[in-house]
């Protein structure tokens, strides 16, 4: 139940920057330097991070159900941080 609450909190409170910082670049480190001149992660329509963000925002449960084990493990770590707050 705590994980579902944390998932809900992430879905409600994360913006794209939080999504990238808290989860995405930990799983896909090749995007760590995917930032603009202001230090924000680029939100480029149609690229892989943007597609994953849109999927997460649209249907968070479906999004996590389609993850491979390694990605799911990183995602759980990210939302578990919300439980500890």
Q: What is the pLDDT of residues 40-65, one digit of tens each?
A: 999 999 999 999 999 999 999 999 99
Query: What DSSP assignment string belongs to 30-47?
Result: GGTT-B-TTSPBP--TTS
Q: Which whole number is the average pLDDT over 25-41?
A: 95
pLDDT at 42: 94
- Per the structure, the complete domain to which residue 30 belongs is given by 2-83
Going by pLDDT thresholds of 50, 70 and 90, the confidence category of residue 85 is low
Percent of the chain residues topping a pLDDT of 70: 99
The domain total for the chain is 1
Hey, which residues does 41 pair with through a beta bridge?
A: 35
Angle CA 66–72–74, to nearest 5 = 145
What is the structure's pLDDT at 76? 93
Closest listed residue to residue 41, CA positions, set 1, 5, 30: 30
């Amino acid at each position: 139940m705590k994980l579902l609450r944390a998932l809900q909190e992430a879905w409600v409170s994360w913006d794209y920057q939080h999504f990238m910082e808290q989860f995405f670049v930990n799983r896909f480190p090749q995007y760590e330097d995917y930032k603009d001149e202001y230090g924000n992660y680029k939100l480029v329509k149609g690229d892989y991070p943007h597609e994953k963000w849109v999927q997460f925002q649209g249907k968070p449960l479906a999004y996590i159900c389609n993850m491979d084990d390694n990605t799911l493990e990183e995602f759980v770590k990210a939302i578990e941080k919300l439980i500890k707050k």
